[in-house]
């Protein structure tokens, strides 16, 4: 009898030991806070560049951890970037090539895998998918682009409702409320904290408008770019501050002041955009708004008749940055609230904190606003990652990392197997100083949304630390090559320069290999194009008809 008990005891001991091991594992799995804003240019984060604005709270993430100076996106536009982040796949495979069609929810996303593996998951803020997120225990999201003032939220359990206040503050209140009241201490968590700001039409919070409308900002070297030295894509894009920005919707000139000055509603939706956004303010918000923008409009009306085209460009640049950066002031304050909460509640030690944007943005470089191009300001995106105890504080990496890598990074950090069909790479070696395990030399880019708003032509590209080779297609067939080291503003296309013959040929071979590696091809592009043309709205189809393809 004594002998028979022994095996049972061993078994029990083994079970106890094993479950302790599991508990230990459970304790060690990190929490993940993924902070992403919408259209936040790295030029507007002081950890990258302090000429435009101070962002002391966002900078705290870099101080605690790592600043990536060469982080980029695979497709510089909102919903496609988010789809790439969640699926770890390029647009042509996850199907979300542009902002038009809802995200295909049959895709497997990393939050689903985290949830299945025992993570508690929550999302607050802007998703922009046309459907609700899968794999989240809790969510409160903005419909579509969402609104700055008194926004509507779609919630998991409480239906859809409006909340009075400023969007950046509200998204943060929801996030903090969840951390305080819904977070389960026994589970690790994944929290997506997603700002609408600083997306167009750039409405700052009441507390920031007076301060920011007084500021003047340094102009970028290429504000008056004439687009010579490049192909037709840069010339034909409709993102110029002087020619394509809305006067009312963007520059906050009252529609009646436009009428008084004889400024036409050139886009056809300029005044409508103002009414849609500023029209949401309640009486007291509107009074505070008018107290600042009223005098600004009066002053503008007085000086407008005397202004040259150059004066107008300069004025529009300042007006643009005042509002754009004003919205970032609230993002920074609110990121500070979340970091303070983590500190005060002992959550810093075992939490990965990421700050990023869905892409970069033009702040007057090349005379532009918006994004979409593979040129640096929209291709690159801010990326700051903290993980106290794991990432050495105050470090920098200039490796070519992409939004494609987040899914595998988080799964890796959580000890969950990475699905074979994900196309990124875990950033863990870079974060933990094992840089010899990282050997990526080039990244792939593909933009699709054309013909459409801003008229940036379809293009794909290979980018290395030194060069960028781009192919624009659909209604053109043009190649561009930039030498990033000697031409950081990307003003001179050296594709036909004989001095670059060998480099060009090598880049062509590498681009073909990358397209093969990621499973992209002209045939896939053609199928995606047909789907796009089938699915777009009537007005967009008119736009498509007006774009002449070669031979048409």
Question: Interface residues with ligand SGN (CB under 6 A)?
Answer: 38-39, 77-78, 99, 128, 145, 199-201, 249, 273, 370, 453-454
Residue showing the smallest CB distance to Ca ion in the complex = 78
Tally Cβ neighbours within 10 Å of residue 188. 21
Question: Per-residue b/e over 139-158, b at no fewer than 16 CB within 10 Å?
Answer: bbbbeeebbbbbbebbeeee
Pairing of strands 351-357, 383-386: antiparallel
For Ca ion, the closer CB: 381 or 525? 381
For Ca ion, the closer CB: 73 or 491? 73
- Annotate 487-500 with DSSP letters as a single string: -TT-----TT-GGG
Of 29, 33, 35, 39, the one binding Ca ion (CB under 5 A) is: 39
Which partner, Ca ion, ligand SGN, none, binds residue 543 by CB below 5 to 8 Å per kind?
none
- Cβ-Cβ contacts under 8 Å for 57 (sequence gap 6 or more): 332, 333, 335, 336, 339
How far is Cα 404 from Cα 436, in angstroms, rounded to an integer?
Answer: 20
Output the smallest distance, CB 476 to ligand SGN, in A.
21
- Contact letters (x/-) for Ca ion, 317-356, by CB under 5 A? ----------------------------------------
Site for Ca ion in 349-378 (CB under 5 A): 358
How far is Cα 169 from Cα 175, in angstroms, rounded to an integer?
Answer: 10
Output the smallest distance, CB 38 to ligand SGN, in A.
6
How far is Cα 318 from Cα 148, in angstroms, rounded to an integer?
Answer: 21
For ligand SGN, the closer CB: 453 or 543? 453
Which partner, Ca ion, ligand SGN, none, binds residue 200 by CB below 5 to 8 Å per kind?
ligand SGN
Residue showing the smallest CB distance to ligand SGN in the complex = 78
Output the smallest distance, CB 537 to ligand SGN, in A.
13
- Contact letters (x/-) for Ca ion, 52-91, by CB under 5 A? --------------------------x-------------
Beta partners for 461? 445, 470
Q: Is 38 in the site for Ca ion (CB under 5 A)?
A: yes
Q: What is the DSSP letter of 417?
A: P
Which partner, Ca ion, ligand SGN, none, binds residue 453 by CB below 5 to 8 Å per kind?
ligand SGN
Question: Per-residue b/e over 63-95, b at no fewer than 16 CB within 10 Å?
Answer: ebbbbbebbbbbbbbbbbbbbbbbbbbbbbbbb
Output the smallest distance, CB 506 to ligand SGN, in A.
33
For ligand SGN, the closer CB: 370 or 425? 370
How far is Cα 44 from Cα 355, in angstroms, rounded to an integer?
Answer: 13
Residues that bind Ca ion (CB under 5 A): 38-39, 78, 358
């Amino acid at each position: 009898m004594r002998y028979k008990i022994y095996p049972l005891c061993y078994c029990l001991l083994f079970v106890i030991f094993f479950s302790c091991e599991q508990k230990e594992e459970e304790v060690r799995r990190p929490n993940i806070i993924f902070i992403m804003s919408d259209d936040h240019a790295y030029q507007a984060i002081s950890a990258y560049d302090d000429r435009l604005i101070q962002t002391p709270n966002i900078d705290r993430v870099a101080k605690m951890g790592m600043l990536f100076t060469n982080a980029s996106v695979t497709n510089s536009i909102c919903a496609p970037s988010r789809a790439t982040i969640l699926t770890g796949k390029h647009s042509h495979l996850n199907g979300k090539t542009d902002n038009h069609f809802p995200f295909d929810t049959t895709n497997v996303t990393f939050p689903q895998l985290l949830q299945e593996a025992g993570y508690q998951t929550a999302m607050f803020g802007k998703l922009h998918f046309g459907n609700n997120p899968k794999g989240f225990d809790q969510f409160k999201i903005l419909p579509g682009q969402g609104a700055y003032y008194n926004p509507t939220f779609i919630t998991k359990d409480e239906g859809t409702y409006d909340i009075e206040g400023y969007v950046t503050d509200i998204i943060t209140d929801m996030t903090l409320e969840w951390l305080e009241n819904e977070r389960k201490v026994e589970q690790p968590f994944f929290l997506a904290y997603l700002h609408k700001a600083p997306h167009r039409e750039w409405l700052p919070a009441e507390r920031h408008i007076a301060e920011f409308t007084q500021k003047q900002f340094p102009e970028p070297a290429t504000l008056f770019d004439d687009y010579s030295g490049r192909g037709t894509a840069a010339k034909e894009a409709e993102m110029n501050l002087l020619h394509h920005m809305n006067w009312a919707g963007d520059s906050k000139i009252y529609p009646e002041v436009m009428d008084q000055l004889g400024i036409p509603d050139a886009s056809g939706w300029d005044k409508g955009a103002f009414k849609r956004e500023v029209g949401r303010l309640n009486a007291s918000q509107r009074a505070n708004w008018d107290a600042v923008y009223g005098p600004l409009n009066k002053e503008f009306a007085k000086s407008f008749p005397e202004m040259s085209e150059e004066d107008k460009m300069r004025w529009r640049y300042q007006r643009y940055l005042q509002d754009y950066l004003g919205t970032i002031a609230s993002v920074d304050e609110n990121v500070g609230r979340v970091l303070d909460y983590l500190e005060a509640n002992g959550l810093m030690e075992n939490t990965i904190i990421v700050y990023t944007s869905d892409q970069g943005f033009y702040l007057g470089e090349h005379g532009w606003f918006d994004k979409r191009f593979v040129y640096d300001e929209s291709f690159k995106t801010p990326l700051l990652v903290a993980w106290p105890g794991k990432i050495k504080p105050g470090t920098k990496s200039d490796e070519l990392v992409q939004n494609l890598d987040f899914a595998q990074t988080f799964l890796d950090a959580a000890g969950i197997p990475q699905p074979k069909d994900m196309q990124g790479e875990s950033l863990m070696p870079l974060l933990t100083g094992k840089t010899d395990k990282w050997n990526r030399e080039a990244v792939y880019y593909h933009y699709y949304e054309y013909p459409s708003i801003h008229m940036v032509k379809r293009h794909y590209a290979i980018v290395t630390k030194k060069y960028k080779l781009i192919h624009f297609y659909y209604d053109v067939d043009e190649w561009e090559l930039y030498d990033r080291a000697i031409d950081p503003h990307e003003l001179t296309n050296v594709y036909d320069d004989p001095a670059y013959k060998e480099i060009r040929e090598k880049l062509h071979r590498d681009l073909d290999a990358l397209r093969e590696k990621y499973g992209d091809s002209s045939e896939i592009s053609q199928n995606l194009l047909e789907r796009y043309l089938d699915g777009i709205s009537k007005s967009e189809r008119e736009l498509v008809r007006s774009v002449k393809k070669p031979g048409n």
